[in-house]
Structure 1
Amino acid sequence: MTTRFIFITGGVVSSLGKGLASAALGAVLQARGFSVRMRKMDPYLNIDPGTMSPTQHGEVYVTDDGAETDLDLGHYERFTGVASRQSDNVTAGRIYKTVLERERHGDYLGGTVQVIPHVTDAIKEFITGDLSDEDFALIEIGGTVGDIESLPFLEAIRQLGNELGPERAMFVHLTLLPYIATAGELKTKPTQHSVKELLSLGIQPDLLLCRSEHPIPESERRKIALFCNVRREAVIAAYDAPSIYDVPINYHDEGLDVEVCRHFGLGCEKEPDLTRWTTIAGRLRQPEGDVTIAVVGKYTTLLDSYKSLAEALTHGGIANNVRVKLKWLDSQVFETADNSYLLEDVHGVLVPGGFGERGAEGKMAAAKFAREKNVPYFGICFGMQMAVIEAARNLAGIPGAGSTEFGNPEAKVVGLMTEWMRGNEIQVRKSGDDLGGTMRLGAYPCILKPGSRARAIYGDAQTIQERHRHRYEVNNAYIGPLEARGLVFSGMSPDGLLPEIVEIPDHPWFVGVQFHPELKSKPFEPHPLFTSFIGAAVEQSRLV
């Protein structure tokens, strides 16, 4: 195997953007013709983020093979187009679980199980395993240098750096240069201390990415290089950008890709092809108009809960050459009073996924508003279920319609599905199963109804593959009564048991999907559903 490894760490404070920096570096390396693989090592003890609150950790990103992963894998896919897999995200919890299972199995032959070498060896196995001889593997280490949780991961990459040598290993450290307004200057001391902390763990960074809101003077770059023992050219500015899709261009302008190539002894005379990024950045800077989309959700206190969704809406805007303005609304505001006036000025309503009863009635109220006022409506996962329940109550005359998720076993329009087909295998779950990993997860096929809006949106494709993450399903026993009142089930699972897409044909644009199309949208390949939805919003803006 000749894959080169780039290890990305972070210092000073969290939320500096290691995931975005890793994704942008991967994109620039691709623009130079290299193949890349992106990976994230998370130091928390959860097996995966599947049971973590979105308001604490952000969205859970789901891969085709059904892994529940960190949201940074969404950045990786959006920037590189390389589909992530189960092996591309590992947590400390999964590492320790692997080691303890081996110990119980007797794999350590009676030896004392320790962090070194057993835990660090397991981490190295995850880092180097399941590769296909890609040119580069970019490995992001979660957390901040100095966190106790990340120590085994940092020790593992230190060992790998020694084993692989500088010909195949590089250490990139992302740090912060804070600006002290009263002094009128940038301060390098936090970066110096962060690198010192990394050095104390045996890792000498080869390149520094310095986050800054202000230009970094040449004198400060030389000072950082001197105190941190790196070449002056290896001090790369990471400035705030108008959009995240400007970052690959900015990094190239700063010489990041040239320094990486120099480290590995690769030729870098030829300029990378950044055409796709300049095109995207240009469209974002000079759109032909604006549309406003209301996102009626329940996790709006932390917008990272809907990271992929927000980006997919931006991608839909890129496809239609318009700027998409998002109006974030807590769904509960529609439950305490008639606050429908909050939706009067929008050109589209989107109700995203979620879990639990809180805010559900508000989501149904938003769906009802969009249906009755002929405003484009897009329901995703839970948002589709709420649209179906709303239609069951107000169109099909089923007053008790609801979801068994809310504790009422008689409200069966949406219920817990216990068996379904995946390929040639029967998937089974029970109501009392553990929450972690028991959902319908990953890519599943969907058959589209001829002549439907959904089929037209997908370019007349008969079968599509989309990613799922949910426990409850729309009950297909209600298809007849609902279709009789105008709600068409235009997408079904191949066995005909699971409704996947609903739509209202005589509405300007009313579509609900059980899956999460936002997970597959990319700036250079916007998802067709978001392209069509924003297109409908553009038409709506011309009517207002």
Structure 2
Amino acid sequence: MTRFIFITGGVVSSLGKGLASAALGSLLQARGFKVRLRKLDPYLNVDPGTMSPYQHGEVYVTDDGAETDLDLGHYERFTGVASRQSDNVTTGRIYSNVLAKERRGDYLGATVQVIPHVTDAIKEFVLSDVTDEDFVLCEIGGTVGDIESLPFLEAIRQLGNELGRDRAMFVHLTLLPYIPSAGELKTKPTQHSVKELLSVGIQPDMLMCRSDRPIPQGERRKIALFCNVREEAVIPALDVDTIYSVPLSYHEQGLDAQVCKHFRIDAPEPDLTPWRKVVERIRQPEGEVTIAVVGKYTSLLDSYKSLAEALQHGGIANNVRVRLNWIDSQIFESEDVVQYLDDVHGILVPGGFGERGASGKIEAVRFARERKVPYFGICFGMQMAVIEAARNLAGIPKASSTEFGPAEEPLVGLMTEWVRGNQLEKRSQAGDLGGTMRLGAYECRLTPGTHAHQIYGADIISERHRHRYEVNINYRERLEAAGLVFSGMSPDGLLPEIVEFPDHPWFIGVQFHPELKSKIFDPHPLFTSFVKAAVEQSRLV
């Protein structure tokens, strides 16, 4: 019997519903349960694929090619459970499906309304693609009181009635602000948030109260009284020094125990030893390295959420702290790279779209290549590495990408067709932007004897992609003659996936996004190897 836990948020956004959901999922896993995590997003975009990173942060991509909310990255990193297309839905997608049915006549002439047609579609999504999971955790995006959230709240209210208390639970995350002038925590915002939730017919079974300091028992008692929940079901969600101690903190406050109590389940105590070991390594590393991340969305670090976490995973694997130096690549278009990169132990150029900041990234690549600093190029970062090598080593000074406009030497070009499994997929330059990239997991064949092959220890790998432009295979011979080896290719040998300089301490560019598959207990081998190279570089500086 699958049980459903619905997680809502109130008072303000960015309280950490995604982390709370991921942490609860990991605690239930540690008690021996099989879990699944889902996100319901209220915005009207069909998916976040066309949204600016400044608007929404990172777009997380699943193996089956879904462009999803970044919280699904938290879910995967904490639980190791691979997310799927069926684990993220938006208002836009719900309405698209409902309107498509209306156009086909599926509603048999009925007046199509929010209730029951939209809410039924939401419920269908929540209950779909569920097999033998013990728990499905559904996070509702946005804040209670937002007009966009109302159909989702109504849908989970109905589900609560239909499933019954034995199969449904409502968890509400709120804020307890501390007012310095009054010298106390204030419970009124939580009371108002619960009142707002009650106005749509949902009585929370548990409250998680975000606070930057311990919550006195008197305040917990007051919240329980005014919000109509059991006192022990008021769980302090305290600030911590690392997100990977969140499961430990929530367990100490009784979160997972109260969930088991609600569902009347006797479950063994969780073994949290792996989490304690990870936190100990984070808090007491044996060394430290500095990695410069030269990107174009550095003013909003959520744009690179998975990347930052993957680098930390690489640090944990090497028992060092990884300090990230976020640098806007546009700076290098007017200032000398040396003053920014001279003392770093590794340089990473991440993915991105458009010409802005591209020349600055190329300068960062050149610095890393010439100064023998470990370099890691991801997606756009690989393309810039190839262009830099073409211009400065292979004698192709006009090498460029057609993403920037017409190119005399189109070293990187728009991809119009590619093979996925046994199917040929085609795109056109004039087509829609949403969902039209090469998305999801694709196989890559590694060349034996190369650095990439050594790192992976495998002949064939599978990695997640999100891009429209590819390195032009027609330039391979000239680039390899200049020293840049194509060490990973698509199975048909047409699409370059990995390039490297064998005579460099560590210089690898990949067309895919390895950060999307790195997990706290399973760090990605490329990040582990890159950080190890940075450690060795730190001993030379």
> Do Structure 1 and Structure 2 share a fold, with TM-score over 0.5?
yes
Which residue in 2 is equivalent to 1:380?
378
Aligned pairs, number: 541
CA distance in structure 1 between the partners assigned to 2:430 and 2:316 by the alignment: 44
CA distance in structure 2 between the partners assigned to 1:11 and 1:337 by the alignment: 45
In the alignment, does 2:7 pair up with 1:40?
A: no
Which residue in 2 is equivalent to 1:50?
49
Which residue in 2 is equivalent to 1:158?
157
Which residue in 2 is equivalent to 1:532?
529
Query: Could you tell me whether the CA contact under 8 Å between 2:285 and 2:321 is conserved in 1?
Result: yes
Which residue in 1 is equivalent to 2:519?
522
Q: Deviations over 1:81-110 (max 9, x none)?
A: 000000000000000000000000101100
Amino acid in structure 2 at the alignment position of 1:129: S
In the alignment, does 2:269 pair up with 1:271?
A: yes
Which ranges of structure 2 fall in alignment gaps of 5 or more residues?
none
Which residue in 2 is equivalent to 1:224?
223
Which residue in 2 is equivalent to 1:281?
279
Which residue in 1 is equivalent to 2:166?
167
CA distance in structure 2 between the partners assigned to 1:429 and 1:276 by the alignment: 45
CA shift for structure 1 position 380? 0.1
Query: Could you tell me whether the CA contact under 8 Å between 2:38 and 2:136 is conserved in 1?
Result: yes
Query: Could you tell me whether the CA contact under 8 Å between 1:172 and 1:209 is conserved in 2?
Result: yes
CA shift for structure 1 position 352? 0.1
Q: Deviations over 1:339-365 (max 9, x none)?
A: 321001100000000000000000000
Which of 472, 487, 499 pairs up with 2:469?
Answer: 472
Query: Could you tell me whether the CA contact under 8 Å between 2:293 and 2:327 is conserved in 1?
Result: yes
Query: Could you tell me whether the CA contact under 8 Å between 1:393 and 1:399 is conserved in 2?
Result: yes
Query: Could you tell me whether the CA contact under 8 Å between 1:9 and 1:174 is conserved in 2?
Result: yes
Which of 510, 526, 530 pairs up with 1:513?
Answer: 510
Which residue in 1 is equivalent to 2:346?
348
In the alignment, does 2:76 pair up with 1:77?
A: yes
Amino acid in structure 1 at the alignment position of 2:216: P
Amino acid in structure 2 at the alignment position of 1:514: Q
Which residue in 2 is equivalent to 1:429?
427
Instruction: Write the mapping of 1:229-240 to structure 2, written as runs, cut at 5 A.
Output: 229-240=228-239
CA shift for structure 1 position 423? 1.1
Q: Deviations over 1:378-434 (max 9, x none)?
A: 000000000000000000010110000001242310001211111111111111110
In the alignment, does 2:256 pair up with 1:257?
A: yes
Which ranges of structure 1 fall in alignment gaps of 5 or more residues?
none
Report the secondary structure of 1:413's partner residue: strand
CA distance in structure 2 between the partners assigned to 1:292 and 1:330 by the alignment: 16
Which residue in 2 is equivalent to 1:64?
63
Q: CA RMSD in A?
A: 0.6
Amino acid in structure 1 at the alignment position of 2:43: Y
In the alignment, does 2:460 pair up with 1:449?
A: no
Which residue in 1 is equivalent to 2:391?
393
Which residue in 1 is equivalent to 2:538?
541
In the alignment, does 2:483 pair up with 1:486?
A: yes
CA distance in structure 2 between the partners assigned to 1:157 and 1:340 by the alignment: 55
Which of 289, 311, 314 pairs up with 1:316?
Answer: 314
CA distance in structure 2 between the partners assigned to 1:499 and 1:341 by the alignment: 33
TM-score by length of 1: 0.99
Query: Could you tell me whether the CA contact under 8 Å between 1:334 and 1:340 is conserved in 2?
Result: no
Which of 490, 494, 497 pairs up with 1:497?
Answer: 494
CA distance in structure 2 between the partners assigned to 1:37 and 1:84 by the alignment: 8
Which residue in 2 is equivalent to 1:406?
404
Report the secondary structure of 1:402's partner residue: strand
Instruction: Write the mapping of 1:82-93 to structure 2, written as runs, cut at 5 A.
Output: 82-93=81-92
CA distance in structure 2 between the partners assigned to 1:18 and 1:152 by the alignment: 19
Amino acid in structure 2 at the alignment position of 1:385: Q
Q: Deviations over 1:233-290 (max 9, x none)?
A: 000000111100000011100000000000001014x320112111111110110000
Which residue in 2 is equivalent to 1:335?
333
CA distance in structure 2 between the partners assigned to 1:499 and 1:217 by the alignment: 59
